[in-house]
Amino acid sequence: MRRFPVFLGLLLVIAPARVSAAEEVAFRLDYQPARGCMDHDTLALFLEGDFGYRVVRDDARALVRIILKGGGRKMEAHVSALDDAGVERWEAMIPGPIDCRELMQDTAYAISLNLGKWELKKQEAPSWLLRAPEIEVGTAAPSPPLRPFVAYDDDAPLRRRTLDPFYRVETTPTPPPAPIEQGLAGPTWAVGANALFVPAGLPGIGVGGGLSLDARWRLWSVGVEFRGMGTWEQEVGVVPVQATTWAGLGIGCVTPHERFGLCGMGGGGSLNVMYATEISPVDWSDTLIWAGARATFFMYHGERMSVALFGEVLAPLQETKVLMRSTSGEVILWRTGALWTLGISPRFEFK
């Protein structure tokens, strides 16, 4: 049963029966009928009768959703209207009068009064409710008329023409950039600190440390290293001996793989040996020159820091003997040999 003022019905009679397609309200309908209610298509026909045209369209932007709650005489229709972004613009609750069919008739009429009849309200329909205008495809533009070809017979002497262009552009191909040679690219500098272990080559087991400065390219590097090593007091034969050595080395390396490197090295330094005899303590020193090789394994290589393990051997270019004098004469206490060293070196790189 529709409970609305009679004068609205009179206005509907005298109102224009149709609006232009560009101003039509249209929406999609989301409705699931309950038992005893009219189906989706029947409700769409009731809405078409109330609006005066087919208002339920699948291509519309707005959406009207009807949810039925309760049952019998307590059934209610909860209606909401949403724009194309899913924002709710209108909502209402229609109570059930007698049965579900009459409830849906009242719901259709309430939708038409709130979402339609804008000409009676003397208002413009909201843009989110309007039907999207259809794109009209026109006919193709007519082709230009055919122009007849006319040949002119000229009795004048045949003249040869040279079809020169209006302008001439001479371009010179840009040569490709010269490849950057390995030796010409700017180096990366690295400062490192070394921890050294000497199992052989000194009068006893030794330890030490050093500092290094390298200039590195992609496949090779050159650098210098300064180191000091020493032994604690250990017996050589029956004599307690203590030794220290200081050296400066030049190093050139090739790195065929990012994890491995091979180096050649050479330099010089001093060796100092202290021991005690039956007569008096002796402090012996000499200058040595070494040459050798190193193998390096990079256990960590970051963007600005690397940590390398290495093993090396340095051979003295001349043999030096440490002599000990006693009551029985001079005896050789120790002689120089290959200096074997293991080390670990963290290095920090900068441009």
DSSP character string of 73-129: GG-EEEEEEE-TTS-EEEEEEEE--SSHHHHHHHHHHHHHHHHS-TTTTT-PPPGGG
DSSP count for the chain of H helices, then E strands: 3, 15
User: Looking at 114, 129, 144, which one is the last position of a domain?
Assistant: 129
Q: Which pLDDT band, with edges at 50, 70 and 90, does 165 fall under?
A: very low
Q: Which pLDDT band, with edges at 50, 70 and 90, does 176 fall under?
A: low
The pTM score is 0.47
Q: Tell me, what CATH number does 279's domain have?
A: 2.40.160.20
Residue 281 has pLDDT above 70, yes or no: yes
One domain for residues 92 and 203: no
Residue 148 within a domain: no
Residue 168 within a domain: no
User: Looking at 129, 147, 165, which one is the last position of a domain?
Assistant: 129
User: Looking at 81, 100, 129, which one is the last position of a domain?
Assistant: 129
One domain for residues 102 and 213: no
Residue 86 within a domain: yes
Q: Which residue has the tokens 């090593």?
A: 229
Output b/e per residue, 288-324; b: 16+ Cβ within 10 A.
bebebebebebeeeeeeebebebebbbebeeeeebeb
One domain for residues 262 and 338: yes
Tokens of 272: 């100092």
The residue length of the chain stands at 351
Residue 334 within a domain: yes
Q: How many CA within 13 A on the CB side of residue 133? A: 7
Strands 220-231 and 239-257: antiparallel
Residue 159 within a domain: no
One domain for residues 342 and 230: yes
- For residues 159-165, give the mean pLDDT: 45
One domain for residues 225 and 345: yes
Q: Tell me, what CATH number does 78's domain have?
A: 3.40.50
One domain for residues 192 and 315: yes
One domain for residues 206 and 100: no
Q: How far apart are the first and last CA of the chain?
A: 89
Tokens of 188: 């990366």
Tokens of 186: 């700017």
One domain for residues 98 and 199: no
Residue 1 within a domain: no
Report the chain's mean pLDDT, rounded to a whole number: 79
Q: What is the pLDDT of residue 158?
A: 45
Tokens of 222: 């050159």
Q: How far is CA 310 from CA 153, 194, 197, 218, 302, in A?
A: 96, 10, 11, 19, 18
pLDDT tens, residue by residue, 109-158? 899 889 888 888 888 888 888 887 665 565 565 666 666 554 545 454 54
Q: What is the pLDDT of residue 327?
A: 65
Residue 258 within a domain: yes
pLDDT tens, residue by residue, 193-246? 999 999 988 888 999 999 999 998 878 899 999 999 999 888 777 778 888 999
One domain for residues 60 and 204: no
One domain for residues 118 and 192: no
User: What secondary structure letter does DSSP report for 23?
Assistant: G
Provide the number of structural domains found in the chain: 2
Q: Which pLDDT band, with edges at 50, 70 and 90, does 159 fall under?
A: very low
Q: For the chain, what percentages of helix, strand and coil (3-state, to nearest 5) are there? A: 15, 45, 40
How far apart (Å, rounded) are the C-alpha atoms in residues 60 and 127?
12
In terms of residue numbers, what domain contains 94?
A: 17-129
pLDDT tens, residue by residue, 8-49? 443 444 444 444 555 789 999 999 888 778 899 999 999 998
One domain for residues 121 and 192: no
One domain for residues 119 and 195: no
Residue 264 within a domain: yes
Residue 184 has pLDDT above 60, yes or no: no
